[in-house]
Amino acid sequence: MRLALLAVPAAFLGCLFAWPVVAIVATGLRSRAGGWDVRGALDTLVEPATRSVLRFTLVQALASTVVTLVVALPAAWVLGRIDFRGKAAYRVAVTVPFVLPTVVVSAAMLALVGPRGALVGVARLDDTLTVIVVAHAFFNYAVVARVVGSQWGQLDPRAEEAARALGAGRMRVLATITLPRLRAAIASAAVLTFLFCFTSYGVIVLLGDQDQATLETAIARVTTTSTDRSAAAALALLQLAVVATLLTVEARLRDRRAIAHGQVPERLALHRPRSRGERAAVAGVLVSTALFLGTPIAVLAERSFRVGDGYGLAWYRALGEPGGRASTLFVSPWDAIGTSILYATAAAAIAVVVGGVAAIAVAARQDRLGRTADTLLALPLGASAVTIGLGFLVALDAPPLDLRDSAVLVPLAHALVGVPFVVRAVVPALRGVDPRLRQAAAVLGSPPWRVFRDIDLTLARRSVLAAAGFAFAVSLGEFGATSILARAERPTVTVAIERLLGQPGAASFGQAAAMSVVLLVLTAAAILAVDRGRVGAATTF
């Protein structure tokens, strides 16, 4: 019965992911005469320009991954091992940058090191690759901190304590006992970080140079500025192949994390700082996190209040003006914020229903079929958002799914990205239910539907609510597909920010900063709700 439930997410992914992607790729592989012509796509793959784009994509993703691991692993130690007052707030603060829209992250970096940045003339980063890497490390800090920290918090600390009792130093214990047991978690976090950097769009568009293109931005450029459809199809297929490979590797690493030896309840691994050195180390990690993650946001907030040579609320008041003083916006910025909240609510509802049904089916199967289903459900995470957006316009323009002019198109695209997060949050909770509870209820005469309602759903309720909050936050920050699908009269807040950042003048940047701060507050509120709904380490991220 539970396996049959896979039909629901399969139909959802088939109609809203597979069909649009196949449609846009097929359009590029067909000749004008109507037949198949793959020569153009093959020629694109071997062109020097494609190799250059692929090289830059890999270089920036690899550099971003290494830097993220270096700066975030200490935070993983604090999250996994140390108990201190304010830890819940620290966990939320670490997570918020991950779900911030890329346009907000880019605005924060521009406010810090851009042409009008706070550090211009002091520490401005003229190397755009360095700026991109720093932005990606800021954006993906939570991936490493929370994925590795979750595993670290489940490792039995007695092995480390025994080694120290036998005279081993802290660094030797770390190198010979702790890190080997964290290898799968670190590799999984690295793969996920690489994946998100490999498919990055907004950061590259807003912070990169015109001659620095990744596969994602190259797909967008080819599809919007030229008629070379075969080139777009070739680049989309290349990116999808890399994404599928990375997701398969990550799924296997996740399985290794799940069967890691020596796991204990998270609360048993936590301890208060025991020595002066450990207290200093914890303080150092907290301060470095505050500086790395807090400085760009603080500068962005400061810029949202700076008006001329003083400070005020002028840019916030301007958000309510028609057109927001910006000719590229046909509505007030507050209307764009309201539209984003409406879309995010609808997207979260859709993602919870589809992802919840998928989680029930996946949780019941821990074999190859379950792992395959889990990997396929995660494909929208790494697929080209631009390709999906254009695929929607190409595929969903005729009955029975004529949605091209429908307002539901944007929430559907957002829900497509939210479903994998819902599955990742709910599956561990369902698998953590003691089967003896179900057996006892069945012996007492409860039918299967009532067993699920009274036991599984009750115990997983907090995880479902957390998943809804995360899907809401992800929808608020989605930019790639939204930039293609959003209608001019109903822009989302991310589209409005991007348009304002593209205009010259202090007024446009001030309004973009103000909108970014509002979006930051909404995102932080959603993540706070997510963190209050987490159940142990299983649903940490």
What token pair was written down for 236?
A: 């989309």
**pLDDT recorded at residue 122:** 42
Within a domain: residue 539?
no
What is the full per-residue pLDDT of the chain (541 aa) written as tens digits? 556 777 888 888 888 888 888 887 777 676 655 666 677 677 777 788 888 888 999 999 999 999 999 999 999 999 988 888 888 888 888 888 887 777 777 777 777 765 555 554 444 444 678 888 988 999 899 999 988 998 888 887 877 878 888 888 778 888 888 888 888 889 989 998 998 888 888 788 878 776 678 888 887 777 766 666 677 778 878 888 888 888 888 877 776 665 554 555 555 678 788 788 888 999 999 999 999 998 888 888 888 898 888 898 888 888 877 654 444 566 777 788 888 899 999 999 999 999 988 888 888 776 666 677 777 787 787 676 777 777 787 787 777 777 777 778 889 888 988 898 888 888 888 887 888 888 888 888 888 878 888 888 888 888 888 888 888 988 887 877 787 787 777 888 888 887 777 777 778 888 888 888 888 888 888 877 776 655 544 444 5
H helical segments located in 432-505: 435-443, 448-451, 457-459, 461-477, 480-485, 493-501
Within a domain: residue 541?
no
**pLDDT recorded at residue 75:** 94
H or E element: which one contains 307?
strand 306-307
| Residue 404 lies in domain | 3-30+40-533
Nearest alpha carbon to residue 214 among 52, 346, 88, 27: 52
**pLDDT recorded at residue 465:** 85
* Residue 485 CB partners (closer than 8 Å, separation 6+): 389, 392, 393, 409, 410, 413
What token pair was written down for 191?
A: 């793969």
Q: The domain spanning residue 152 has which CATH number? A: 1.10.3720.10
The structure's pTM equals: 0.79
Rounded CA-CA distance 310/280 in Å is 38
Rounded CA-CA distance 187/514 in Å is 38
Within a domain: residue 131?
yes
Within a domain: residue 491?
yes
How does DSSP classify residue 263?
A: B
**pLDDT recorded at residue 37:** 66
Rounded CA-CA distance 317/217 in Å is 34
Environment class of residue 515 by beta-carbon count within 10 Å: exposed (0-12), middle (13-18) or buried (19+)?
A: buried
**pLDDT recorded at residue 540:** 46
Within a domain: residue 182?
yes
What token pair was written down for 230?
A: 């075969």
How does DSSP classify residue 268?
A: H
- The 10 Å Cβ neighbour count of residue 372 is 14
Environment class of residue 438 by beta-carbon count within 10 Å: exposed (0-12), middle (13-18) or buried (19+)?
A: middle
**pLDDT recorded at residue 330:** 66
Q: Are 209 and 226 in contact (CB under 8 A)?
A: no
**pLDDT recorded at residue 265:** 59
Amino acid at 387: T
Within a domain: residue 427?
yes
**pLDDT recorded at residue 324:** 44
Q: Are 51 and 253 in contact (CB under 8 A)?
A: no
Rounded CA-CA distance 224/393 in Å is 13
Within a domain: residue 51?
yes
**pLDDT recorded at residue 405:** 72
Q: Are 429 and 460 in contact (CB under 8 A)?
A: yes
Rounded CA-CA distance 189/399 in Å is 42
The residues with which 155 forms a beta bridge, in sequence order, are 263
CA angle 459, 461, 463 (to 5 degrees): 100
H helical segments located in 201-275: 202-207, 215-225, 229-258, 266-269
Nearest alpha carbon to residue 506 among 336, 334, 318: 318
Rounded CA-CA distance 27/280 in Å is 60
- Strand pairing report for 310-311 and 397-398: unpaired
Within a domain: residue 134?
yes
Q: Are 502 and 103 in contact (CB under 8 A)?
A: no
- When divided into structural domains, the chain yields a total of 1
Amino acid at 457: L
What token pair was written down for 77?
A: 């130690």
Terminal CA-to-CA distance of the chain, rounded, Å?
A: 29
